[in-house]
Amino acid sequence: MEWFRRFLDWFGKIPGWWKDASKGQKFIVTLVGASVLSAAILLALINAPKYVLLLSTRTEADAGPILQQLETLGIPYKVEAGNKILIPSTYNVYEVRMRLASAGVLAGSTRGFEILDQTSLGATSFDKQVRYQIALQGELERTISTIKGVQSARVVLTLPKYTYYVRGEMSEPRASVMVILEPGQLLTKEQVRGIIALVLGAVEGIKAENIKIVDQTGKNLSELLNLDETTALASTKLELKMNLENYYKRKIKEPLESVFGPGRVEVIPDVKLNWEKIEKQIVTYTAPNKKEGLVRSREVQSEISTTMQGPGGPVGTESNIPPTTYETVEATGQATYQKSHEIVNYELNQIVENVVRNSEGEIENITVSVIIDASSTVVERTPKEQIEKLVTSIIEKSIDANTPEGSVTYAVAFIPFSREIEMGFYEQLKELQATQKLRTRLVLLFIASVLIFFATYLGLVQFRKVQARKLMLQRYKALQEEAQRVMEQITEEEVIPGAEEEMILEQLKTYLQQVADTTPEDVATVLKVWLAEKG
């Protein structure tokens, strides 16, 4: 404990030394202390470990196994809001993630087909079905979570119950999907269709109308996909109209902005499409040629009649009054009648002509409104009539080639644009740049001040060393000369033989004792010079 006692004694002398110190010494000590403290703080900030994001988990339950594994691996970590886990930048983030993945803690609470590896001998068919359903749900959740904009997903399947021999009564499976979207993200119709396609491909026998998708706000995303053909056609028409308007807007706006400057032109197109479709059938009938016509039916009627007179009595009543006896009269003569009739029906010549006029998707009319910033330098230097003429020519040549003649209507207006938001943004940007420059200058000034201080301090220390060395050399030479003079005086005096050396040493000791008493600085200087020469 001797060293501690010495330290306390030295520490107790500091107030007295500070009280007796001059102003210059106090200033130097204060400046050195402040510089050392600033350098220590700067080094601490530079060498402080920087933390980088390792991963973010959905819930605290998912973060628990990861933190335990990090503690097992001996990796320090920090946890921030939003279940964010950070590690020092000295560690390789990708290597740590791979090690966590190999330990099986990155999957969180979602488990997939790996649970099928954990089977028991006494499991029934229903138990196996439930495990398969849970595994399928986990695999779908993992897959859907990889879609851009989706932070996590939850899938619930309702599958028909069946055994190895008998299917259940409910033959249609159903699926409910809940997606938790990232902040500021929305799913497009194509992404919703993709999720439905994933479920359709993974679940046997499921139908698209039995899949429901909602987000964390409770919005039914599956309603975005209406399977009605009429609604789908209307949606397609609207998308085609918007695509054409955006196309003409870019086609007109980009060249005009190259002339008047970015943000100085606004184009408002309105495209009217023709969705008319006419189908017409024309049937023409012509008389057939009797010689070459196609016989449709033929009817032939033929009648032949032959009449012969038979035997009989005389004509009158006498032959009919009993006794009926009369002279037989023999028949003489024969009458023949013949008649024929033919009806022929011919097919009419029929010409069927189908005329289809399909104008679906064709541009019927385009209205373009162009607004130009009146405060633009180009507008100020050029007459507005000339600018309007040039803009009109550009619009005509850009659009008329793809549209029917006379279907383009356009208007050009010169209106000063409001620049309040832009000016506010530029002012904030300037303030931010000025603040950044000021910080940079202050940091550079601080570093320069520290460097200048150390350079000045080292220069002063070196200058004092040089001055002290010169003073020591001067004192050393003066002592040498004084010692030489004393030696000469001793040699001039009469000395007893044999006692010469002892006498000289005795006189030198006496002289040195006098010098040490009168000028101790000179003795210290001589000792420093000797040590420097021998060291």
What average pLDDT does this structure show over 502-515? 66
Q: Is it the case that residue 227 has pLDDT exceeding 60?
A: no
Range name among 98-107, 270-279, 307-316, 408-417 with the lowest pLDDT average: 307-316
Look at phi and psi of residue 498 and say left if phi exceeds 0, alpha if psi is from -120 to 50, else beta: left
User: pLDDT digits over 156-167, tens only?
Assistant: 888 887 655 555
Residue 242: phi, psi to the nearest 5? -65, -40
Look at phi and psi of residue 303 and say left if phi exceeds 0, alpha if psi is from -120 to 50, else beta: beta
Closest residue by Cα to residue 34 from 529, 336, 453, 433: 453
Distances 330 to 4, 302, 310 between C-alpha atoms, Å: 186, 32, 7
Provide the pairing of β-strand 265-274 with 362-373.
antiparallel
Q: Which residue has the higher pLDDT, 12 or 266?
A: 266
Tokens of 469: 């060395």
SS3 of residue 40 by DSSP: helix
Residues 42, 61: one domain? Answer: no
Q: Is it the case that residue 27 has pLDDT exceeding 60?
A: yes
Give the CATH number of the domain where residue 138 resides.
3.30.300.30
Residues 2, 96: one domain? Answer: no
Residues 191, 122: one domain? Answer: yes
CA distance 280 to 462: 110
Closest residue by Cα to residue 85 from 102, 68, 98: 68
Q: What is the pLDDT of residue 381?
A: 82
Q: What percent of the chain has pLDDT over 90?
A: 1
316 in a domain, yes or no? no
What average pLDDT does this structure show over 59-81? 83
**Upper half-sphere CA count for residue 510 (Cβ side, 13 Å):** 9
Distances 417 to 158, 376, 386, 414, 428 between C-alpha atoms, Å: 58, 9, 20, 9, 20
Range name among 22-26, 150-154, 381-385, 389-393 with the lowest pLDDT average: 22-26
What average pLDDT does this structure show over 28-40? 79
What average pLDDT does this structure show over 121-146? 81
User: pLDDT digits over 452-503, tens only?
Assistant: 888 888 888 788 777 777 776 776 677 667 767 766 665 655 545 555 556 6
Amino acid at position 527, single letter: L
CA distance 409 to 368: 6
Q: What is the pLDDT of residue 214?
A: 92
Residues 158, 132: one domain? Answer: yes
Contacts of 56 (CB under 8 A, 6+ apart): 82, 83, 84, 85
204 in a domain, yes or no? yes
Closest residue by Cα to residue 408 from 420, 393, 418, 423: 393
397 in a domain, yes or no? yes
Residues 98, 122: one domain? Answer: no
462 in a domain, yes or no? yes
Residues 271, 365: one domain? Answer: yes
293 in a domain, yes or no? no
Highest mean pLDDT among 11-25, 94-108, 477-491: 94-108
Supply the DSSP string of 266-327, one letter for each residue. Answer: EEEEEEEEE--EEEEEEEEEEPPPTTTSPEEEEEEEEEEEEEEPPPB--SSSGGGSSS----
Residues 405, 436: one domain? Answer: no
User: pLDDT digits over 377-431, tens only?
Assistant: 888 788 888 888 888 887 777 776 666 666 778 788 888 887 777 777 788 888 8
User: pLDDT digits over 284-343, tens only?
Assistant: 777 666 666 666 777 877 777 777 655 555 555 665 666 555 555 555 556 677 777 777
Give the CATH number of the domain where residue 383 resides.
3.30.300.20
Residues 272, 388: one domain? Answer: yes
294 in a domain, yes or no? no
328 in a domain, yes or no? no
Which residue segment(s) compose the domain that 20 sits in?
1-47
Residues 128, 198: one domain? Answer: yes
Residues 33, 123: one domain? Answer: no
Residues 256, 403: one domain? Answer: yes
Residues 258, 406: one domain? Answer: yes
Q: Is it the case that residue 531 has pLDDT exceeding 70?
A: no
Query: How many structural domains compose the chain?
Result: 6
Point out which residues pair with 269 in neighbouring strands: 368
Range name among 94-103, 142-151, 452-461, 516-525 with the lowest pLDDT average: 516-525
244 in a domain, yes or no? no
CA distance 20 to 8: 19
